[in-house]
């Protein structure tokens, strides 16, 4: 973890400076001047006592009026510049920090969109969400507070050291002796605090992931009366957050009082040693002061600087835990950014074409409604929608094959239905068509082109999927339908809705097609959401259509409406249908019965019924799909 955090620290700071070189240069310059101003108090105290107070006692106030006036003006200028410098770096770092976080979020989201589906299968959505919230917020605090404080402290300690060495090398050595003790304490206690703050961050991520999961499943929780179980599980995670946070804060909060006490001892020690050097002649030569001899003015000024020195170390110690959390958060953020994106070795692209009088294809920059595959050599193959599986084996995990020697021919315009129990491999087949996963053995071709040779974006632009779990996005109904074809006109959207039999119910919504949807269109019924999803597929108008149990969550009456709509959009397309309701697949050209990833029966409804095999038993109710 330490090594990872160290790498993340270097990368995070490097990232900040890389994208904001000029701004960060101005920040550092401003902090430097601010540190000079804040460190000047000891010098002013010395000159006030030595050049104003002492002469005024001997010769009267009038003799030092001009000196005092000059000193006050100098203080006003120095502190005024310090205030201006502090405002400047605070303003700039706020802008720079947010700009950097903006870039980080963009990189995270861009990478997330490039990741394979398997990544989201293996990682909880709540944990991924915590990257954008918990981890990014810890980095924000580092940029806005810790980094500035650390740089300020470094400059302040360097400046104070120079001043103190000039005032007294001996007293400076005493200060550094106490500083070493402080650093040992910070490393011991602060190290433990940092580890527990990192644990707190991890347990908080699990906590947030659980809350997100429970929010999404609230209906199921209530339906099964599992509120008490959910509360109990929440209590365990909440207790873990409490335990980690309490331990972290116990260590974190104990540092300041300890360092404060050491600072007080240092203050007294400096006063005692300085007093001895002033009053005892034999010790005066040990002061090693740039002013020749130790004096009360030097002691008072040094006391001020030594206190500021100790406070600076104490203040930076408070940032150790925040830094640990930020670097742990950066480690997780960069881990996401560094994830291997979805591999796409395809070179064949999908292009718009026009047909010449002799029937040959010509690539067209305009949308013609006709498409072709463009190979690397520039040759064009008409897009027909011919999907062929040959001897395909597939497994999600090594040594656990899901599909065995799968062979099927999806001729253009053919309707193929998959039936079988849950886990038989039906959805897996459709996932392979989209190349959400890659096969281990065999070949899958699309219009006689291996799908591995087709660029994934082009492949997926030629396939439309309607899932059982409908996903509608925040926006209008029209926007959600247009998701299937972003450049579609309002007229095309209306026609797609009519094709899907969704037009009538949409027009009855408060604002018709302009009705705003949110939270996955929770205000609509499951059937209505599915009809909008069907309309989205209709407007895409691709040669290959996948219906993954698209009607399983719809009532019988709505199913009949959807069936009419899907019959229209299936016309002329190669269609793969997954259905639990066998009544929806009777009109399929071919029905494939799967069992544990193997094809056990194949044929149309009539032929399979005559065979009186598994399909017949499923259809007549002798067997039930599980």
User: How many structural domains is the chain composed of?
Assistant: 3
Return the number of other C-beta atoms located less than 10 Å from residue 236's C-beta.
10
Q: Poorest-confidence range of 43-47, 115-119, 131-135, 407-411? A: 43-47
Q: What whole-number distance in Å separates Cα of residue 502 and Cα of residue 495?
A: 10
pLDDT, average across residues 115-119: 87
CATH of the domain at 432: 3.40.50.300
| 312, 435: one domain | no
In this structure, the answer to whether residues 395 and 373 fall within a common structural domain is no
Range of the structural domain that residue 474 is part of: 387-620
Closest CA to 331 of 482, 138, 496: 138
Asked whether residue 47 falls in the same domain as residue 135, the answer is yes
Task: Tell me, yes or no, whether 626 lies in a domain.
Answer: no
> Could you tell me the CA-to-CA distances from 216 to 90, 111, 213 in Å, in that order?
40, 25, 5
Least confident interval from 178-182, 254-258, 591-595, 619-623: 619-623
What does DSSP assign to residue 415?
E
Q: Whose CA is closest to 182, among 265, 258, 267?
A: 258
510-527 pLDDT, tens digit each:
889 998 887 777 778 878
pTM of this prediction?
0.75
How far out from the chain centre does Cα 539 lie?
32
Q: What percent of the chain has pLDDT over 70?
A: 92
What pLDDT score does 3 carry? 47
> Is residue 503 in a domain?
yes
357, 477: one domain? no
Q: Are residues 377 and 391 in the same domain?
A: no
> Token pair of 328, please?
């742990």
Given this model, what pLDDT does residue 521 score? 73
Q: Sorting pLDDT into bands at 50, 70 and 90, what band is 607?
A: very high
> In whole angstroms, what is the distance from residue 283 CA to residue 256 CA?
34
- Mean pLDDT on 260-289: 73
Q: Please state, in angstroms and rounded to a whole number, the distance separating the CA atoms of residues 562 and 258.
A: 72
Cα distance between residue 311 and residue 183, in whole Å: 12
Say if residue 440 is in the same domain as residue 529.
yes
pLDDT (mean) for 594-621: 88
141-167 tens-digit pLDDT? 888 888 898 899 999 999 988 888 888
Same domain, 328 and 179: yes
Token representation of residue 28? 């550092």
Closest among 289, 269, 272 to 181, alpha carbons compared: 269
Of 87-101, 360-374, 431-445, 567-581, the one with minimum mean pLDDT is 567-581
**Dihedrals phi, psi of 333, to nearest 5 degrees:** -65, -45
Closest CA to 533 of 489, 487, 593, 477: 477
167 with 53, same domain? yes
* Pairwise CA distance, residues 368 & 354, whole Å: 6
Q: Assign 87 a pLDDT band (cuts: 50, 70, 90).
A: very high
pLDDT tens digits, residue range 28-41? 999 999 999 988 88
Q: Strand 544-548 relative to strand 574-578: parallel, antiparallel, unpaired?
A: parallel
Torsion sign over Cα 285, 289, 293, 296: negative
Query: Across 62-66, 213-217, 341-345, which has the greatest mean pLDDT?
Result: 341-345
> For 62, which DSSP code?
G
The pLDDT value recorded for residue 1 is 40
């Amino acid at each position: 973890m330490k090594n990872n955090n160290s790498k993340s620290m270097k990368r995070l700071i490097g990232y900040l400076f890389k994208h904001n070189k000029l701004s960060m240069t101005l920040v550092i310059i401003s902090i430097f001047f601010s540190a000079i101003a804040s460190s000047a108090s000891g010098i002013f105290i010395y000159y006030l006592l030595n050049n104003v107070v002492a002469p005024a006692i001997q010769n009267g106030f009038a003799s030092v009026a001009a000196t005092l006036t000059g000193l006050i003006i100098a203080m006003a200028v120095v502190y005024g510049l310090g205030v201006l410098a502090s405002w400047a770096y605070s303003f700039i770092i706020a802008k720079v920090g947010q700009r950097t976080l903006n870039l980080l979020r963009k990189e995270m989201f861009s990478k997330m969109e490039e990741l394979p589906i398997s990544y989201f299968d293996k990682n909880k959505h709540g944990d991924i969400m915590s990257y954008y919230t918990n981890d990014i917020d810890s980095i924000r605090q580092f940029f806005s507070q810790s980094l500035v404080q650390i740089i300020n402290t470094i400059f302040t300690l360097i400046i104070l050291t120079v001043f103190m060495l000039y005032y007294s090398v001996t007293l400076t050595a005493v200060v550094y002796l106490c500083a070493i003790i402080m650093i040992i304490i910070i490393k011991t206690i602060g190290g433990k605090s940092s580890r527990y703050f990192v644990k707190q961050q991890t347990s908080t991520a699990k906590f947030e992931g659980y809350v997100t999961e429970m929010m999404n499943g609230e209906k199921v929780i209530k339906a099964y009366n599992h509120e008490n179980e959910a509360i109990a599980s929440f209590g365990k995670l909440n207790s873990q957050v409490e335990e980690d946070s309490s331990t972290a804060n116990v260590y974190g909060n104990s540092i300041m009082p300890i360092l404060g006490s050491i600072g007080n001892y240092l203050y007294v020690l400096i006063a005692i040693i300085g007093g001895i050097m002033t009053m005892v002649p034999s010790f005066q030569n040990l002061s090693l002061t740039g002013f020749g001899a130790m004096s009360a003015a030097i002691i008072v000024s040094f006391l001020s600087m030594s206190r500021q020195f100790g406070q600076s170390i104490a203040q930076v110690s408070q940032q150790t835990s925040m830094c640990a959390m930020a670097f742990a958060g950066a480690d997780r953020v960069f881990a996401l950014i560094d994830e291997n994106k979805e591999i796409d070795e395809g070179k064949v692209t999908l292009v718009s074409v026009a047909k010449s009088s002799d029937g040959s294809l010509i690539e067209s920059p305009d949308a013609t409604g006709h498409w072709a595959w463009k190979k690397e050599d520039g040759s064009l193959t008409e897009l027909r929608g011919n999907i062929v599986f040959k001897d395909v084996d597939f497994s999600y995990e090594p040594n656990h094959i899901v599909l065995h020697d799968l062979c099927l021919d999806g001729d253009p315009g053919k309707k193929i239905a998959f039936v079988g129990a849950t886990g038989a491999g039906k959805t897996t087949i459709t996932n392979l068509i989209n190349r959400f996963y890659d096969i281990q053995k065999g070949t899958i071709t699309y219009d006689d082109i291996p799908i591995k040779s087709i660029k994934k974006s082009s492949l997926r632009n030629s396939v439309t999927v309607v899932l059982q779990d409908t996903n509608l996005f925040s926006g209008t109904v029209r926007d959600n339908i247009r998701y299937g074809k972003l450049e579609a006109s309002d007229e095309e959207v209306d026609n797609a809705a009519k094709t899907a039999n969704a037009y009538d119910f949409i027009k009855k919504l408060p604002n018709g097609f302009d009705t705003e949807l949110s939270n996955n269109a929770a205000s609509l019924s499951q059937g209505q959401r599915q009809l909008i999803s069907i309309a989205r597929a209709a407007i895409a108008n691709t040669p290959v259509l996948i219906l993954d149990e698209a009607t399983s969550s719809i009532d019988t009456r709505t199913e009949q409406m959807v069936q009419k709509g899907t019959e229209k959009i299936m016309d002329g397309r190669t269609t793969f249908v997954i259905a639990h309701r066998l009544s929806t697949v009777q009109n399929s050209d071919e029905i494939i019965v799967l069992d544990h990833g193997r094809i056990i029966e194949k044929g149309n409804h009539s032929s399979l019924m005559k065979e009186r095999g598994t399909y017949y038993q499923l259809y007549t109710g002798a067997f039930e799909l599980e």
